[in-house]
A and B are shown apart, each in its own frame.
Chain A
Amino acid sequence: MNKLHIYGDHIDTDIIIPAQYLNVHDPAELKIHCMEAVDESFSDRVAVGDIMIAGENFGCGSSREHAPVVIKESGISCVIAKSFARIFFRNAFNIGLPVIESTEIVEDISLEDKLFIDFNSGEVFNETKNKTYEIPRFPDFMMALIQAGGVISYIKENDDV
């Protein structure tokens, strides 16, 4: 049963993964510190398939790719936020962490809601509230990155880059 982890606005990269731990880059070693400054028990509670929910400007601050990497490594299947900070957003695409930018979903859901995300149909189903939300479509270029499985595979497939 996937759970939701709900946070507020401006969750910065020092909250997601404090710089003091970045003397290593092994995701498995780093993930125990994910979100610890605002949610000490996150790494104990989180399970594979859980969904992270946040407000505006999620991932602001540093360019550290370790931030989306540890979220993904923690088992989070998707981050839904009202908006994302620029570098976090491109890092998430580049490493293949699914993200959804939707104020509607964030404002509507509650902690106990059960969500089903279907990127193929472009919909999120809220079983608890029996409601369906549309996932805003990403631009074609971003979709091509997703379909390729990240920017490295995209470059391998496109000789002109």
Chain B
Amino acid sequence: MTQKIMAAHTNETVKVGEYIYCDLDMVLGNDITAPVAIEGFNELNRPVFHKSKVALVPDHFTPNKDIKSAEQCKIVRDFALKHEIEHYFEIGEMGIEHALLPEKGLVKAGDMIIGADSHTCTFGALGAFSTGVGSTDLGCAMATGKCWFRVPDAIKIIIKGEKQGHVSGKDIILCLIGKIGVDGARYKSLEFTGEGISSLTMDDRFTISNMVIEAGAKNGIFPVDEKTKAYMDEKGLDYTIYEADTDAEYIEEIVIDLNTLEPQVAKPHLPSNTVSIFDIEKIYVDQVVIGSCTNGRISDIKAAADVLRGNRVKKGMRLIVFPATQKIYLEAMEMGYLKDIIEAGGIVSTPTCGPCLGGHMGILAAGEKCLATTNRNFIGRMGHKTSEVYLASPAIAAATSIEGFITLPGGYDE
């Protein structure tokens, strides 16, 4: 699939290992990466290649956490105004970029997308080629509408069976990263297939594609099925569907059987350090974070609210929930999920990447532990270098905030 999308966006020969330039349908930057990209863009002395094919989303340190962040955001805002960038999102419209772009219908099946943010791979869930690059690549792409790529080998991930109990997209991707390691798919494309995909919601798929970078992958792409079509049709999108050939070549095949998959937890300090929730010792945590580009969508907020409803967060526990976009925030309010969270003793934050990368809105002190639905548990990721981050699904996160230690829902009196 990846090779077919590349071939549709270049005149060059698409063969594994070849270096090619491809035309881009969307390029994305944020308040950390865009200021650097703008310097590169200015050096090229060209106009923006397409005003509606650039998206600038200041989501990392916003609402501006300090003067320096405010200056970074101002650089992005001034650039967007000067070049009449159509898809610049100020607070009020802003959401976490990888949740916001699909929601706004700015990315779709068959597209070729880059973003100066490693989790740009999220859009593979829609059947697009989408990958993270650096700021200089973004700066060049804003001027030329093109980017260079090495045509990657592909690994086939066959998903079988049906999700059981509290298993969600997060458990599937954590299990996969645990199997192949944080460099198991380095430079490679992950192509998801198998009859088990039909039972996965779009939110499950976004979560899975979002974290393929944690296995080192260039991209992680899903086939387009009725659910994908319904998601895009509702937004009135005009998309192109590419399918993998039946004799497509893969360098490896990995099977994930949903019938036997148990909820997963990634222990510090690598996302590949995964264990089944049933095999983890009793680990008490100081903070629980639910949200991010990985798990801040409406089904994630619902999963947390369903567990929290009528319960109380353990005394001394800090529960922070941050819906990924304004639309999700509003829907969570209308559905009563935010009430459930607040009545349980949690707080609800405006959309921001803040806590996930130790930026703001929930930093950890020395020695503290946090269970998060985010994507990375590297050393010092969410605060002090001796703090620890465990990764899991929203259901586990909510249950953990009630019990105080990492657990599945159901370990307390309802």
Residues of chain A at the chain B interface (Cβ within 8 Å): 10, 12, 14-15, 18-20, 22-25, 36-38, 56-57, 60-66, 69, 83, 85-87, 90-91, 94-95, 139-142, 150-152, 155-156, 161
Do A65 and B136 touch (CB < 8 A)? yes
Q: When the two chains form the complex, which single residue of B19, B136, B150, B270 contacts A10, counting CB atoms closer than 8 Å?
A: B270
- In the assembled complex, 15 residue pairs joining A and B whose CB atoms fall closer than 8 Å, in A order, are A12-B379, A14-B379, A25-B72, A63-B115, A64-B135, A69-B36, A86-B216, A91-B133, A139-B17, A140-B19, A141-B148, A152-B40, A155-B44, A155-B140, A155-B144
Do B72 and A24 touch (CB < 8 A)? yes
Q: When the two chains form the complex, which single residue of A10, A24, A37, A86 contacts B218, counting CB atoms closer than 8 Å?
A: A86
Q: In this assembly, does B357 line the interface, its C-beta being within 8 Å of a C-beta of chain A? A: yes
Do B357 and A86 touch (CB < 8 A)? no
Do A20 and B216 touch (CB < 8 A)? no
CA distance A12 to B389 in the complex (A): 15
Q: When the two chains form the complex, which single residue of B32, B133, B150, B216 contacts A85, counting CB atoms closer than 8 Å?
A: B216
Given A57-B182, A152-B40, verify A15-B378 contact (CB < 8 Å): yes
Q: In this assembly, does B139 line the interface, its C-beta being within 8 Å of a C-beta of chain A? A: yes
5 smallest beta-carbon distances between A and B, as pairs: A141-B19, A91-B134, A19-B357, A65-B134, A23-B68
Do A87 and B136 touch (CB < 8 A)? no
Q: When the two chains form the complex, which single residue of A18, A56, A142 contacts B380, counting CB atoms closer than 8 Å?
A: A18
Q: Which of B21, B66, B120 gathers the greatest number of chain A CB atoms within 10 Å? A: B21
Number of interface residues of B (CB under 8 A): 53
Q: When the two chains form the complex, which single residue of A19, A87, A141, A152 contacts B359, counting CB atoms closer than 8 Å?
A: A19
Q: In this assembly, does B137 line the interface, its C-beta being within 8 Å of a C-beta of chain A? A: yes
Chain B 65-86 residues near chain A, CB threshold 8 A: 65-66, 68-69, 72
Do B183 and A56 touch (CB < 8 A)? yes
Do B118 and A62 touch (CB < 8 A)? yes
Q: In this assembly, does B169 line the interface, its C-beta being within 8 Å of a C-beta of chain A? A: no
With both beta carbons as reference points, the residue of chain A lying nearest to B376 in the complex is identified as A61
Do A63 and B133 touch (CB < 8 A)? yes
Chain B 42-99 residues near chain A, CB threshold 8 A: 43-44, 60-61, 65-66, 68-69, 72
Do A90 and B133 touch (CB < 8 A)? yes
Which A residues lie within 8 Å of B383 (CB)? Answer: 20
Which B residues lie within 8 Å of A10 (CB)? Answer: 182-183, 270
Do B69 and A23 touch (CB < 8 A)? yes
Do A87 and B134 touch (CB < 8 A)? yes
Q: When the two chains form the complex, which single residue of B139, B183, B358 contacts A60, counting CB atoms closer than 8 Å?
A: B183
Query: B146 to chain A: closest CB distance in Å?
Result: 6
